[in-house]
Structure 1
């Protein structure tokens, strides 16, 4: 080994040994801020709808299609950049963009101005997940990636739940507009550490085959998808799971309008439930997913299918019971648990199945599947169906719209089961291939 390569390896090891925990913690913090900014509009749903005189369809567009379309499409662009350039600096640029536009949301006067803000918030936030997942995969080995992904995605329940707590606690005191301004300013403060952060050596925790060198172009990217059906089934499962997650943007409006709760009180309670059961689901998904995957090939996504199958009755039933029943709160917390358990197993599965040099783009493609198709359609369809049912004088229109989205999420079960079977089949084939290659060659007698 040459002295230069030895120095490079020592430098890489020092980088990995000193800072992965700090980097993981800081990226989780950014994800919390990201999710608070993204979901603050849903947390202040009743106030914003009233203040700007929005229809359910317009609110669905703001929380769904307008945001997620640009978030998803630009995520693929950001993934391309993250596979090639300095990842912390890419995140820094995105953080500045989404923080400035979050603050601008606080001074929006109508639907159009708020729509423009949501559009560019989506562009800025699109850099964070693909870049972060790519960076973390170069800091941690495969056996730890489920838990690492889960820790990073603790930002989702902490941030999304935190947005409802902000709405419930700060809303009555300073109003929804000032809350947006404060969150935008906080994001700008957190930009500086990113400018000082080093990037990680790519592929340090993985064996990179020589045959893979140079295969970074888009043609090889799409060929990889065709050749690895487990990737496709995992993404399809993610789509169906995110339809009710998109519909959940209407939860606050539903609880106030059709279940009789006070806006501030239920926002705080819902936020606390989201944090507690979201954190529980995220951590258990990562821990149990790694444990099950070590014993069964494709165990991470199979675990998701099993959990969804077992808990589906609670998820569906609580929509139809009276809020005075304990079953109502049990079902609500079950939904928040299932909403969060997905992230560790699914994102680590995508990282394991993706070539080292295209992990950011594969993560971005997963986010397109989750957000543009699943979350975006879930939010918009829920709003449109609710408006149509209201026009037809149907009572509890949001209840039936949300229940329909919950039913569609059951399609995740066959998708994740098929993904686990494909993973197991491909890994058995690789083992048999390696054993055949190791057999001694025999000449013809």
Structure 2
């Protein structure tokens, strides 16, 4: 028998789609720097290391540290109004980024963009967790996560089709204006009631309490710890792929607008298919086997591993090259739902914002930021040493490193069954 709490209403779907739109704009803004790399790097005379700092450490450090703080606040305040505040901040600073004339004038606003963007994920995921029943969490989080590859694809569409009309600076201004309009709409969206009755509105935040809460949850759940570890390793590859557009042009011989258009379409296709496959497939796999969604993710990554590695080495005119681009976006999209739906299910409602913020912190700082920054340093080093194909070498290295996440996700999925059974006793 289906209870009232297990029914998904049209209003729930509408809110999910609006949050997904905000997340889409979030990831478009976030990826504009990488997508416009072939314009920004030469015009501002940036080295690969400086480009990595702007798109990596400087942004991600503020974004990830802010995620823990913002997640803690999101557990205490009206989340939709808090989201509106975050969207307004990052949209204004995206527009400011378009006026950059050098390293520092781009680095400072991009770093501060992280403050605004760190609000959305913990607040939105906490809201989704309260709005949808457990059996729909994978699907709901998958739809929200669909914005990740679609946002990258959207930023590449902007490069391919709007840059010729407005220039890269004009595209930053337009995205900033669009975001401010969405922030105004978000401010008037009604808050979702929290399912946990112990919710506190006390805004006093104690760092020792935050640390103790995170430590207790990680210590008490092998699933959470292993899912985090696998996600950080996979994050290294996500970080390194920020150099893909430079790799396409400098080492694979593509025109910068042409390859932006090609990858945009493949990102959209791979992102859509991957998110639905990761969300629905992970849910179905868990119901049929009793194993956790991370085990399903491990199987997907294992199947794709040979293709994703070969893609870095094959002739760019080969069909396998385009298939590899699709596979990269498919895998990135598949990653989101199994990981965050698992966290939704094992973390109490009144601690989700904090844990989502912490998970994002660790993935971004210990994964993505290291991947971007070390990747830029290695590319410059291989170039100075006279190696042929420095971008290819570095991207192959990080692709191989990402394979270590496969057994870790498999273990997380295996332990999920035991933890889930214990929680029901």
**Into which bin does the TM-score normalised by the smaller protein fall?**
over 0.9
Mapped pair 1:39 → 2:25: no
Q: In the TM superposition, what is the alpha-carbon distance from 1:430 to its structure 2 partner?
A: 4.3
How far apart in 2 are the matches of 1:298 and 1:360? 25
| Number of equivalences | 412
In structure 1, the residue matched to 2:79 is: 87
Q: In the TM superposition, what is the alpha-carbon distance from 1:184 to its structure 2 partner?
A: 0.2
Q: What secondary structure sits across from 1:295 in the alignment?
A: helix
Mapped pair 1:159 → 2:158: no
How far apart in 2 are the matches of 1:259 and 1:334? 18
Contact kept in structure 2, 1:221 and 1:358, CA below 8 Å: no
How far apart in 2 are the matches of 1:220 and 1:339? 29
- Segment drifting more, 189-198 vs 35-44: 189-198
In structure 1, the residue matched to 2:388 is: 395
Mapped pair 1:239 → 2:229: no
In structure 1, the residue matched to 2:260 is: 267
Aligned counterparts, 1:219-234, within 5 A: 219-234=212-227
How far apart in 1 are the matches of 2:379 and 2:185? 44
In structure 2, the residue matched to 1:302 is: 295
Find the partner of 1:316 among 309, 314, 317. 309
Contact kept in structure 1, 2:292 and 2:414, CA below 8 Å: no
Contact kept in structure 2, 1:79 and 1:360, CA below 8 Å: yes
Aligned counterparts, 1:44-443, within 5 A: 44-203=36-195, 217-218=209-210, 219-430=212-423, 434=425
TM-score by length of 2: 0.94
Q: In the TM superposition, what is the alpha-carbon distance from 1:129 to its structure 2 partner?
A: 0.5
How far apart in 2 are the matches of 1:230 and 1:222? 14
| Deviation per residue, 1:287-325 (Å, 9 max, x gap) | 101101112233311010011111100000111111111
How far apart in 2 are the matches of 1:22 and 1:310? 35
How far apart in 1 are the matches of 2:293 and 2:185? 33
Gaps of 5+ in 2: 200-205
Q: In the TM superposition, what is the alpha-carbon distance from 1:101 to its structure 2 partner?
A: 0.5
- Segment drifting more, 165-174 vs 76-85: 165-174
TM-score by length of 1: 0.90
Contact kept in structure 2, 1:298 and 1:419, CA below 8 Å: no
Instruction: Give the 3 Å change call, closer, same or farther, for CA 268–371 of structure 1 in structure 2.
Output: same
How far apart in 1 are the matches of 2:388 and 2:120? 41
Contact kept in structure 1, 2:296 and 2:413, CA below 8 Å: no
Q: What secondary structure sits across from 1:418 in the alignment?
A: helix
How far apart in 1 are the matches of 2:290 and 2:361? 26
How far apart in 1 are the matches of 2:78 and 2:8? 16
Instruction: Give the 3 Å change call, closer, same or farther, for CA 16–146 of structure 1 in structure 2.
Output: closer
Q: What secondary structure sits across from 1:333 in the alignment?
A: helix
State the structure with more CA Rg. Answer: 1
How far apart in 2 are the matches of 1:18 and 1:312? 39
Q: CA RMSD in A?
A: 1.8
Q: In the TM superposition, what is the alpha-carbon distance from 1:19 to its structure 2 partner?
A: 2.1
Contact kept in structure 1, 2:90 and 2:113, CA below 8 Å: yes
| Deviation per residue, 1:43-83 (Å, 9 max, x gap) | 11010001000001111111111111110000000000011
How far apart in 2 are the matches of 1:188 and 1:425? 46
| Deviation per residue, 1:267-292 (Å, 9 max, x gap) | 11111111111111011100101101
Q: What secondary structure sits across from 1:320 in the alignment?
A: coil
| Deviation per residue, 1:219-259 (Å, 9 max, x gap) | 33421221112101001111111111111110000000000
| Deviation per residue, 1:385-432 (Å, 9 max, x gap) | 00000010001000000111111110111111111122112233445x
How far apart in 1 are the matches of 2:184 and 2:56? 31
Q: In the TM superposition, what is the alpha-carbon distance from 1:117 to its structure 2 partner?
A: 1.0
In structure 2, the residue matched to 1:441 is: none
Contact kept in structure 1, 2:198 and 2:350, CA below 8 Å: no
Gaps of 5+ in 1: 1-11, 210-215, 435-445
Q: In the TM superposition, what is the alpha-carbon distance from 1:16 to its structure 2 partner?
A: 7.7
Contact kept in structure 2, 1:297 and 1:420, CA below 8 Å: no
Q: What secondary structure sits across from 2:92 in the alignment?
A: helix
| Deviation per residue, 1:325-350 (Å, 9 max, x gap) | 11111122111111110111110001
